[in-house]
Amino acid sequence: MKHRPFYAVHPLFPVYPEPADTPPALRRRVLVRDGSVLFRSEPAPGTVLMPDPPPAGLSCGAPVYLGTRDGLVYSVAEVPTGATLPAGWQPSPVRELFGEVPESDMAIAAYAVRILDFDRSTAFCGACGAVTRPLTTERARACTACGRIVYPRISPAIIVLIKKGEEILLARSPRFAPGVFSVIAGFNEPGENLEQTVHREVAEEVGIRVQEIRYFGSEPWPFPDSLMIGFIADHAGGEIRIDNQEIEAAGWFTRETLPALPPGESISRALIEAWRRREI
């Protein structure tokens, strides 16, 4: 099975405590503005990695430690809206960096956006409202008053390709680009195992039953904090009945009748392409 996830390279290794007194030549920084990552496309291949400190005159917030790799230390910082960017650098949503920068940069960019969001959204304690501080022993923040510790949230979600003979079920969400269909997906609920989530989501969204659920692969999907767990399942019975909320259209498709599909870097497209190549 040849599945390469949205990014197949491990982002960084968060060694603790953060390495001290690292010379500037061994530091790199990712800058984020309004949720988009700054990147430079020329010379090719592009990059999201700036020297640390960044160019003189560029205003940005305090750096947040990300981790290390190959002897380099990485951090992320936020650039204010409207700040003048260095020549040749431009903002881009992480997903649109695919093909513009190396896979390793994609991994770091997605990780940087996620960790910066974690630090921003947990700056104050959810229990007592006091200020939190980053721990120096792990990726977490601790309340300075009550001691409550919070970690980056990960929200597990299933995504499943359903087979019936030589056909697969594809569905269309009203949130998709015009004409695009994809496989069924949904978030895991408290008390469920992942297989139960597959059964429930499929029943809720398209009204059919499935069987023979098997694992395909997984993919971090930090938009903002999902982990997509991919499965293949066989149709076990029932006719398609869409819920008209999450799904506005659905049907069975052959390899010759496939509609417009999700982007090539997604696990949903990886599932469909693996089926199209008869690997699953």
Asked if residue 87 is part of any domain, the answer here is yes
Residues 267 and 220 in one domain: yes
Residue % of the chain over a pLDDT of 70: 97
Hey, what amino acid is at 263? P
Asked if residue 39 is part of any domain, the answer here is yes
Return the pLDDT at 274: 94
In the chain, the number of structural domains is: 2
CA dihedral sign of residues 230, 168, 96, 174: negative
Tokens of 174: 């009203």
State yes or no: pLDDT of 262 exceeds 80: yes
Give pLDDT tens digits for 109-138: 999 999 999 999 999 999 999 999 999 999
CA-to-CA dists, residue 189 to 98, 155, 221, angstroms: 31, 10, 18
Domain CATH for 263: 3.90.79.10
> Which whole number is the average pLDDT over 43-49?
91
CB atoms within 10 A of CB 223: 14
With cut-offs at 50, 70 and 90, classify the pLDDT of residue 1: very low
Residues 117 and 171 in one domain: no
Residue % of the chain over a pLDDT of 90: 76
Asked if residue 254 is part of any domain, the answer here is yes
CB atoms within 10 A of CB 9: 15
Asked if residue 180 is part of any domain, the answer here is yes
**Structural domain span for residue 241:** 155-276
> Which whole number is the average pLDDT over 257-278?
92
Model confidence, pTM: 0.86
CA distance 217 to 104: 19
Residues 260 and 161 in one domain: yes
> Which whole number is the average pLDDT over 91-103?
88
> Which whole number is the average pLDDT over 60-78?
94
Return the pLDDT at 52: 86
Of 226, 237, 233, give the one whose Cα is nearest residue 266.
Answer: 226
CA distance 226 to 10: 16
Kindly give the pairing relationship between strand 226-237 and strand 141-143: unpaired
Asked if residue 109 is part of any domain, the answer here is yes
Give pLDDT tens digits for 158-180: 999 999 999 999 999 999 999 99
Q: Answer with the residue of higher pLDDT: 128 or 95.
A: 128
State yes or no: pLDDT of 7 exceeds 90: no
Terminus-to-terminus CA distance in the chain, angstroms?
Answer: 7
* Length of the chain in terms of residues written: 280
With cut-offs at 50, 70 and 90, classify the pLDDT of residue 280: very high
Asked if residue 133 is part of any domain, the answer here is no
Asked if residue 147 is part of any domain, the answer here is no
Exposure b/e, 155-167, CB count within 10 A at least 16 = b: eebbbbbbbeeeb
State yes or no: pLDDT of 221 exceeds 50: yes
Mean pLDDT of the chain: 92
Asked if residue 9 is part of any domain, the answer here is no
Contact 49, 102 (CB under 8 A): no
State yes or no: pLDDT of 98 exceeds 50: yes
